[in-house]
Structure 1
């Protein structure tokens, strides 16, 4: 039994503990999918699966509720795999280890997967708990949301019967989401030319680590450090004066997570090693002065290393370093319509260098299509200046807010009645699947709710226990209050 079993509502927490025990990072959801389908069949529920792997489960209305509008509860199956540098964990094989820490549930050294595991657990708990009163009910679990919204892109018209969709992927109790940002991936690739490292040069590994990281949408306004950008800044400032030879550079692991670590292998002549060490120490002082409030654990480490291949020639080094240093990152513009919400942003998420190529992979988000187009144009211009091959790909639409949404009004009224306070109606600067669902189901009324989750997409991810109970109370009362057809 998991220690989560002592928490309330017990069915939800028990199911979440089971979800944690089955590895399910993006592209590795199949074991969890098979478990859920078997579980639903054991309960005698209708289960179906579509061509892209999405799961649909149906449960008949409870007695007397047959004439209510049908509802679909929606969550995604996958989680973001991020771990601390000193944590040994294979996300494709090892279970997540959740534990209770005061008012929060956390995971040992890794992301928790409360995004979107708590939402998924809540939907399954509604199916499992015979005390929950509801009309005709569907549960839709989508595939591979975190790395490209594959399941949402593949959702076919006519499969769902519901009139109302409740998305469970929001992360702030007391807020109702009625719109979200769209996004697009953008990659820049540079061909590299290498040459031998001169005799008498010493090789070092330069590591920038200890950053918080976080969600590249929900946390992008917080002013957190981006390891790729910070390491590029150092190289741009000092590569020429040190006659520095760049052997390797890699940073970040996911385009939708703010990079926490970046690594460069460099070589300098023996007579410049002390200067390199001094400049690294000075740079660490600069960063601590700038970021100490937000990034208390930031550090830059220089240690001896060996080079197993040649270094970039001066032109390749400068083209790459200057392109990465010049690539914008973070908030581009705040919304004039949704006050306090970011309109357009990008995250320089992953830099991957091989022998003859380096790729810079960004995720652009915007509440408006023209905002995405602007950043794409900016990155394409930078790419042309640097001689890079650029490609925008995998664009997905935002979810346009509907101020007249009946289900949004119902959620607001239900929340007010239950908790005697008015919830915030929000547009979120993160990608929810609702925008994609609108294409096959343009008339479906949609809303998004959830408990309080902080630090998603980072090992600091945690879910607030009390807020899960409040969210469950809201969800079950909402299902009871759904109007007649």
Structure 2
């Protein structure tokens, strides 16, 4: 439980400890922005916010390196706010509580924010150092990456001068990323139809808990269960068994880019079929444990009898919601034919929520190929429109196509080889790095992404490897020293 400032590199960990103390979930980054602007003032660095709210800080070259090409160091300011169900935490007010756990740093009951807090800490450490050698640096610190990439979407041409960019948002030491998936949001809305419950109905609260969750891009291929899909699977089995399930409430997940760990519903059913329901639940629980037991070791399916509510959704609407979600694909759709071992297209049924007017579902579709993403979106529209739901698509962002002639790739590879005696793996990631969007405003940018090993991002199990942070820091400094001179 010792202070993170005891770790090496000390300058980076001290900054990360401060970052953890400042609440900064998506769309609530102002306190972080204020801290960064105050630091820039303290160190007499040129700084400003662009029209959308991104923070830009510029630092001149150290003596003797004025002839080097300008480098943009990039990180996002926000973190994913996820907490265990037994953890009371207000991400807009409460600090993250990091601690050392063996070879890792993790947090007490919540996401750690190493995604992208370690990258942000490294950039701040470079900006505020008086000892490090580097050419001209511009820091691009974007807002709202996790909840919509607002900062990347709003970046305007002409704001930055450099042509080489280092993205710090990768999560596997020893890999350099030169491409990423694009994505888009699909929103499905069922208009609420309610009716009075009857004396012939009983009710229960059905819950899925204890799943690992994780990043809907990086972890989508790991075989982890989606709580929304498991919940609907049981409801669909009730339908098929003739138990006449009727939903009163349903909810699951909290972020469209996190694999849902929990989901629950209040469901009404024929009271005279209680014994059949008990048998079905036993069978379903056994099947789920058999299928997911090696991966989802904490899986819990809880069924608790409750007082029957006065109203429920109409049987027709309940059937439409259950049937369409049960039929909806989730997870990996296809693997890349050009990049072996990389997911090409996927989707995540991230959030089910209920308001006074509607049942709403948020799905994030990712793909390395825009046409494949569009086809999945069209399939979703076809499926849910058959059930009288409204379907809309928004927030589409492009992928980042690899450049085999990249200067940044060569510098990172050579620097890694010099430091560690081996070449890093050049990879394409099935996640939405901001680099693809940057190309819209800056088509000539030459980019590479690398970072330390972070496990289970977007979940309360998130942790970052201490040794990998030190190697990442060494690589970052070496890359800055090896940036070539201007042509």
TM class by smaller structure? over 0.9
Question: What residue is the counterpart of 1:164 in the other structure?
Answer: 164
Question: What residue is the counterpart of 2:354 in the other structure?
Answer: 353
Structure 2 unaligned segments of length 5 or more: list them: none
Question: What residue is the counterpart of 2:340 in the other structure?
Answer: 339
Matched position secondary structure for 1:221: coil
Maintained 8 Å contact 2:23/2:31: yes
Matched position secondary structure for 1:274: helix
- Distance apart, 1:200 and its partner CA: 4.5
Residue deviations 1:33-56, cap 9 Å, x none? 111111111111111101111000
Question: What residue is the counterpart of 1:138 in the other structure?
Answer: 138
Matched position secondary structure for 2:480: helix
Question: What residue is the counterpart of 2:431 in the other structure?
Answer: 430
Mapped partners of 2:209, 2:284: distance in 1:
13
- Distance apart, 1:2 and its partner CA: 6.8
Task: Assess, with a 3 A threshold, how the Cα gap between structure 1 residues 463 and 309 changes in structure 2: closer, same or farther.
Answer: farther
Counterparts of residues 15-414 of structure 1 (less than 5 Å): 15-239=15-239, 241-414=242-415
- Distance apart, 1:203 and its partner CA: 2.1
More deviation, 191-200/285-294: 191-200
Structure 1 unaligned segments of length 5 or more: list them: none
Mapped partners of 2:385, 2:270: distance in 1:
33
- Distance apart, 1:161 and its partner CA: 1.1
Matched position secondary structure for 1:257: coil
Maintained 8 Å contact 2:2/2:100: no
Mapped partners of 2:355, 2:63: distance in 1:
62
Mapped partners of 1:306, 1:35: distance in 2:
50
Mapped partners of 2:200, 2:445: distance in 1:
68
Residue deviations 1:155-210, cap 9 Å, x none? 01111111211000000000000000000000111123111110143321110111
- Distance apart, 1:98 and its partner CA: 0.2
- Distance apart, 1:308 and its partner CA: 4.7
TM-score by length of 1: 0.98
Mapped partners of 2:190, 2:411: distance in 1:
52
Residue deviations 1:5-24, cap 9 Å, x none? 10000010000000000100
Mapped partners of 2:307, 2:86: distance in 1:
22
Matched position secondary structure for 2:386: helix
The 4+ residue runs of structure 1 with deviation greater than 3 A are 306-309
Matched position secondary structure for 1:35: helix
Aligned residues: 485
Mapped partners of 2:356, 2:160: distance in 1:
48
Matched position secondary structure for 1:225: coil
Mapped partners of 1:55, 1:158: distance in 2:
15
Task: Assess, with a 3 A threshold, how the Cα gap between structure 1 residues 32 and 309 changes in structure 2: closer, same or farther.
Answer: farther
Mapped partners of 2:113, 2:352: distance in 1:
24
Residue deviations 1:200-247, cap 9 Å, x none? 433211101110000000000001100001111111111361122211
Matched position secondary structure for 1:242: coil
Task: Assess, with a 3 A threshold, how the Cα gap between structure 1 residues 307 and 354 changes in structure 2: closer, same or farther.
Answer: farther
Task: Assess, with a 3 A threshold, how the Cα gap between structure 1 residues 419 and 82 changes in structure 2: closer, same or farther.
Answer: same
Maintained 8 Å contact 1:185/1:394: yes
Mapped partners of 2:14, 2:278: distance in 1:
52
Question: What residue is the counterpart of 2:422 in the other structure?
Answer: 421
1:454 aligns with 2:455: yes
1:472 aligns with 2:477: no
Residue deviations 1:92-138, cap 9 Å, x none? 11100000000000000000000000000000001122221000011
Mapped partners of 2:67, 2:229: distance in 1:
56
Matched position secondary structure for 2:441: coil
Maintained 8 Å contact 2:73/2:165: yes
- Distance apart, 1:312 and its partner CA: 1.5
Maintained 8 Å contact 2:246/2:319: no
Question: What residue is the counterpart of 1:14 in the other structure?
Answer: 14
Maintained 8 Å contact 2:69/2:164: yes
TM-score by length of 2: 0.98
Mapped partners of 1:33, 1:202: distance in 2:
52
Matched position secondary structure for 1:170: coil
- Distance apart, 1:307 and its partner CA: 5.0
Maintained 8 Å contact 1:183/1:396: yes
- Distance apart, 1:283 and its partner CA: 1.1
Mapped partners of 1:233, 1:481: distance in 2:
54
